[in-house]
């Protein structure tokens, strides 16, 4: 009886590498070689020809929270404990920091944080607040006689 159980166990272990199981390492999903991550696309280690070479990704980047949102895959990318995490939902801390201001990005990479340094310089946190203040600066004076000189010309 033990010999049969032992042989079944060996047979199961022999076929295990062929299953293409997905594993999770530190919050990042990794795939075994030979498995594909997006439908009928070739694996990541294969040369990029055809469809995968032309794949584009649409993101919303929230500068105040330093969070990316993938519009197609419905995934959030955020920094936690000095590592980038991927999740279908955000922790409460990041949700509170999100606001309506986001920057639409069209990228050729599946991991938007690869260009994070460039985005951080190009869209610094708080930039939207500064722009809003400039917009409303001139609205305060409107209707209080401040624009009188322009009315005289008409």
In Å, what is the CA distance from 108 to each residue of 15, 19, 21, 97? 36, 30, 27, 27
Task: Please check whether residue 66 lies inside any domain of the structure.
Answer: yes
Tell me which of 52 and 116 has the higher pLDDT.
Answer: 116
Model confidence at 143: pLDDT above 80: no
How many domains would you assign to the chain? Answer: 1
Model confidence at 128: pLDDT above 50: yes
Q: Give kind and range of the element (H or E) at residue 39.
A: none
Task: Please check whether residue 83 lies inside any domain of the structure.
Answer: yes
Render pLDDT for 65-90 as a digit per residue (tens, 0 to 9): 999 999 999 999 999 999 999 999 99
Task: Please check whether residue 44 lies inside any domain of the structure.
Answer: no
Task: Please check whether residue 78 lies inside any domain of the structure.
Answer: yes
- The boundaries of the domain holding residue 93 are 57-126
| CA 75/CA 71 separation, integer angstroms | 7
Model confidence at 91: pLDDT above 80: yes
Beta strands in 2-56 (DSSP E): 22-25, 28-31
Confidence class of residue 111 from pLDDT cuts 50, 70 and 90?
Answer: very high
Contacts 24+ apart (CB under 8 A), 131-134: none
> Half-sphere exposure of residue 12, counting CA atoms within 13 Å on the CB side?
6
Tell me which of 142 and 63 has the higher pLDDT.
Answer: 63
Task: Please check whether residue 29 lies inside any domain of the structure.
Answer: no
Task: Please check whether residue 92 lies inside any domain of the structure.
Answer: yes
| CA 112/CA 107 separation, integer angstroms | 7
Task: Please check whether residue 93 lies inside any domain of the structure.
Answer: yes
pTM: 0.53
Task: Please check whether residue 16 lies inside any domain of the structure.
Answer: no
């Amino acid at each position: 009886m033990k010999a049969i159980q032992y042989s079944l166990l060996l047979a199961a272990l022999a076929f295990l590498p062929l299953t293409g199981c997905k594993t999770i390492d530190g919050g990042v999903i990794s795939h075994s070689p030979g498995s594909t991550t997006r439908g009928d696309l070739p694996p990541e280690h294969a040369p990029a020809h055809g469809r995968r070479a032309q794949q584009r990704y649409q993101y919303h980047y929230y500068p105040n929270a330093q969070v990316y949102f993938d519009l197609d895959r419905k995934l959030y990318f955020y920094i936690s404990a000095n590592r980038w995490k991927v999740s279908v939902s955000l922790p409460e801390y990041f949700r509170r920091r999100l606001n309506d201001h986001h920057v639409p990005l069209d990228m050729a990479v599946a991991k938007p944080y690869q260009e994070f340094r460039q985005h951080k310089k190009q869209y610094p946190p708080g930039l939207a607040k500064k722009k809003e203040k400039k917009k409303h600066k001139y609205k305060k004076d409107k209707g209080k006689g401040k624009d009188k000189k322009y009315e005289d010309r008409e």
